[in-house]
Copies of this chain bind each other. A is one copy, B any other.
Amino acid sequence: MARVVVDVMLKPEILDPQGQAVQRALPRLGFEGIADVRQGKRFELEVEGPVDDAALARIHEMAETFLANTVIEDFTVRVDEAVRAES
């Protein structure tokens, strides 16, 4: 079984209150030097069968229509090579 990772992040121009809250907390915890934090979602999909171009195209479509809300979010799809190698 291969793993495909879909990362979904808010578009850069969209307010990210969570990321902001995390960033503001960091100096209080003694962590300096982080200029910005954005928080998004990571989906790990275990795919049955070969992860060929057709499969990736389908996952891309899935991400576009379902996993991400493209009104406010961008996404990337990639194969997790570490897992592919193992399996």
Total number of A residues with any Cβ neighbor in B under 8 Å: 35
The residue in chain B whose Cβ has the minimal distance to the Cβ of A62 is B31
- Sample of 7 more A-B contacts, CB < 8 Å, known A34-B45, A35-B47, A38-B44: A8-B42, A29-B65, A34-B46, A38-B43, A40-B41, A40-B42, A40-B43
Q: For residue A66, which residues in chain B have a CB less than 8 angstroms away from its CB? A: 22, 25-26, 29, 31
The residue in chain B whose Cβ has the minimal distance to the Cβ of A34 is B45
A31-58 CB mask vs B (1 if < 8 Å, else 0) is 1011111111111111111000001001
Nearest-Cβ distance from residue A74 to partner chain B, whole angstroms: 12
Nearest-Cβ distance from residue A66 to partner chain B, whole angstroms: 6
B22 touches A67 (CB 8 A): yes
Q: For residue A47, which residues in chain B have a CB less than 8 angstroms away from its CB? A: 33-35
